[in-house]
Amino acid sequence: MTTIVGSLGTRQYDTKYDFGDGNVIQTKFFPLALARHLGANKVVFILTGKAEEANASAIGPERDALCPNVECLIKRIPLGLNEQDLWEMFDTLGEAIGNGEPVVFDITGGLRSIPFFMFLAINYLKVARDVNVEGVYYGAYELKGDDDNAAPVIDLTPALKLMDWITATDVFVRLGHGEQLAYLVRQEAPPEENPLKPFGKAIDDVSHAIWLSRPVDAMGYAEHLLGKLEKVKQSPPKGARPLALLLDRIQREYRTFAIPKDMANRLSWENLEKQIELVKWYVRRGHALQAYIISREWLVSLTQLILNHPQDSMSNKELREQVEKALKQYLNSPETTLLKEVAKTYRDIGQRRNDLMHAGMREGPMSLPKITQSLDELPAKLEELLRLAREEAQ
């Protein structure tokens, strides 16, 4: 069953409310009309002290006449004049709503700051209490015109989707987790073929590649994602309008390491440059394990490039194992060479990677501050080695 959360001011408006489906309900308190219309089982009134004095005694009789089986709770809230008041309002609302409870918000009555608080509360309760926010409604008293007319009820529920789109896009851009964004995309995709379906799959693909430390796949899928993104831009489906406003941000973040799929597995300077951009992407987000895993393999690929291995050899296991053995030999070389510097970096990064992969379960594990510091320095070290290698190759 559903809970209605609404506020009241200090005046009572005995008004007809038109829900637009032929259902017109007259009441002094819109949350009760909403409860009757939606078949809710509980109404939580959040009231300031003066609003409680003006309305508390009338809520019971009005409920009995309109929806007698609905439970009504009155929760006193402060005026919201400062930060402490706001936190008290959140606490009060959190105590009144159970975990996972279906909730509908009414933003009709009360102080003009209440609707803003309500929208903040929606996000708070969705995260803190895992509530299912089913709708947001406004009884537009000021639009009813003459006294005999009914006030239209405005359904603001679609606005909730915008917040969902923003949150999901932010998580995808900042952390690389695309599951929620892909889910929203699939939800809005109509049965017929449209650009959203392949775009949703592209989000899933690049997200999985990033988190599974697959640089070749991540770069290729990022390029694929950008292609599908352009098609969505050209023909944005009506159901995903909020997405259209967020596409540029996705594009900016993922084009840095995007490369055509046929080039992603090809040994080349451009490929290694793009892999460094992927490492930077991890470093900016503090994803140390992925950054070190990819950087260690990057050094093997750089050595292959220095040794003029074929372009199609980047995934050749036998050749890469030979290079790894050679790097150990270069490390012991008495001469100061580029390959010796690559070997030293390969050793250092390998130690850090092993430390992380073994969860620090070893003697003398790296301290967390040292891991963070060395992670920040990682992209610059790779860029320097790549620059020296290119100069030596010319």
14 and 138 fall within a common domain: yes
Residue 387 and residue 276: Cα distance in Å, rounded?
12
Same domain (yes/no): 179, 128: no
Q: What is the pLDDT of residue 254?
A: 95
Tokens 């089913």: give the residue.
134
Residue 293: inside a domain = yes
pLDDT value at residue 192: 64
Q: What is the pLDDT of residue 365?
A: 87
Q: Within its chain, how far is the Cα of 174 from the centroid? A: 8
- Alpha-carbon separation of residue 320 from 305, 309, 383 (angstroms): 11, 10, 21
**166 occurs within a structural domain:** no
Q: Please check whether residues 152 and 7 belong to one and the same domain.
A: yes
Q: Would residue 51 count as lying in a domain?
A: yes
| Residue 190's pLDDT band (cuts 50, 70, 90) | low
Q: Is the pTM of this model over 0.85?
A: no
Gap between the Cα atoms of 17 and 39, Å rounded: 16
The verdict on residue 127 lying in a domain is yes
Region 192-221: what's the mean pLDDT?
90
Q: Which residues contact 33 (CB under 8 A, 6 or more apart)?
A: 17, 25, 26, 27, 66, 139
Give tens-digit pLDDT for 84-112.
988 888 888 888 888 888 999 999 988 88
Inter-axis angle of helices 269-284 and 215-234, to 10 degrees? Answer: 80
pLDDT at 29: 94
Determine the pLDDT at residue 233: 85
**Average pLDDT of 26-47?**
94
pLDDT at 360: 84
Residue type, 168: A
185: domain range?
171-265
Q: State the total domains in the chain.
A: 3
Burial of 381 from C-beta contacts in 10 A (0-12 / 13-18 / 19+): middle
Confidence (pLDDT) at 112 = 85
Greater confidence (53 vs 235) lies with 53
Asked if residue 356 lies in contact with residue 375, where contact means CB atoms within 8 angstroms, the answer is no
Residues 120 and 245 in one domain: no
- Is residue 68 a part of any domain in this protein? yes
**Euclidean distance between CA atoms 101 and 99, whole angstroms:** 5
Torsion sign over Cα 192, 194, 196, 199: positive
Residues 41 and 123 in one domain: yes
Q: Which is higher by pLDDT, 12 or 194?
A: 12
- Per-residue model confidence (pLDDT) at position 13: 85
In a domain, 60, yes or no: yes
Band (pLDDT 50/70/90 cuts) for residue 155 is very high
The residue out of 156, 180, 212 marking a domain boundary is 156
Give the pLDDT confidence of 38-92 residue by residue, as tens digits: 999 999 999 999 999 999 999 999 999 999 999 999 999 998 888 898 888 888 8
- Greatest mean pLDDT among 7-21, 292-306, 346-360 lies in 292-306
Predicted pLDDT at 18: 93
- Residue-wise pLDDT tens digits, 5-20: 999 999 888 899 999 8
Q: What is the mean pLDDT of residues 366-383?
A: 90
pLDDT at 191 over 70: no
Over pLDDT 90: what percentage of the chain? 59
Residue 201 placed within a domain? yes
Specify the pLDDT at position 193. Answer: 59
Residues 134 and 21 placed together within one structural domain of the fold: yes
Q: What is the mean pLDDT of residues 310-331?
A: 91
Claim to verify: residue 261 and residue 314 sit in the same structural domain: no
CATH of the domain at 81: 3.40.50.10640
| pLDDT tens readout for residues 107-141 | 998 888 888 888 888 888 888 888 889 999 999 98
Across the chain, mean pLDDT equals 90
175 and 141, same structural domain? no
